Amino acid sequence: MSHIRQQTAKDLQAEGKPAIEHPAFAVIDLLLNEYKRPGKAAGGGFYDYPAGAQKHLWPQLRTRFYKADGQISPQDVRDRLLFVQAIETVRCVEEGVLHSTADANIGSIFGIGFAAWSGGALQFINQYGMQDFVARAQYLAEQYGERFRPPTLLLEKARLGQLF
């Protein structure tokens, strides 16, 4: 688990980009350092891998990481999944990785598993409404972290009343 994070930080640094701090890092650090659960090769991480049996979630995940005050509404769960993927797709457009709306929509469905019913990540934003999407993304950023912060391209399109 830690080697993936280290390689990601190294790759971002090579591109001159800051390392991204993700809320999951604290959980991974506990699994690695306190609970000695580095992953499948060592017999367990998030999952247990019993010999001759099917893998299953480590039973202590719930007891060790449960927060009584951490209830999240079903709408927030849904939006967190859809919005972070849609925002990352916008970043790909902004950085020139994707060159067309069609490429972004098709790529988001087949590449990252974005909800097919939506027509793709950029179509989801268009249907949601650009200004409403930006407002909801800003709310999610305040509640759940910077990864939901709308990129400049999205803010500009909302300001100009444009769609993808």
The whole-number pLDDT of residue 94 equals 96
Task: Please give the Cα distance from 132 to 155 (Å, whole number).
Answer: 11
**Residues 151, 90: contact at Cβ < 8 Å?**
yes
Task: Please give the Cα distance from 103 to 95 (Å, whole number).
Answer: 14
**Residues 109, 120: contact at Cβ < 8 Å?**
yes
Distances (CA, A) of 82 to 76, 109, 113, 144, 159: 10, 11, 10, 14, 22
The whole-number pLDDT of residue 2 equals 72
**Residues 145, 83: contact at Cβ < 8 Å?**
no
Task: Please give the Cα distance from 109 to 118 (Å, whole number).
Answer: 9
Per-residue pLDDT tens, the chain, 164 aa: give them. 677 778 888 898 899 888 777 777 888 888 888 888 888 888 888 898 888 899 999 888 888 777 777 788 899 999 999 999 999 999 999 999 999 999 999 999 999 999 999 999 999 999 999 999 999 999 999 999 999 999 999 999 999 999 99
The whole-number pLDDT of residue 156 equals 98
Walk me through the domains of the chain, giving residue ranges and CATH numbers. Answer: 2-65 (no CATH), 74-160 (1.10.1040.50)
The whole-number pLDDT of residue 127 equals 98
Task: Please give the Cα distance from 19 to 9 (Å, whole number).
Answer: 5
At residue 111, what is the residue type?
A: G
The whole-number pLDDT of residue 1 equals 64
The whole-number pLDDT of residue 97 equals 96
The whole-number pLDDT of residue 115 equals 97
The whole-number pLDDT of residue 37 equals 87
The whole-number pLDDT of residue 101 equals 97
Judging by beta carbons within 10 Å of its beta carbon (0-12, 13-18, 19+), is residue 35 exposed, middle or buried? Answer: middle
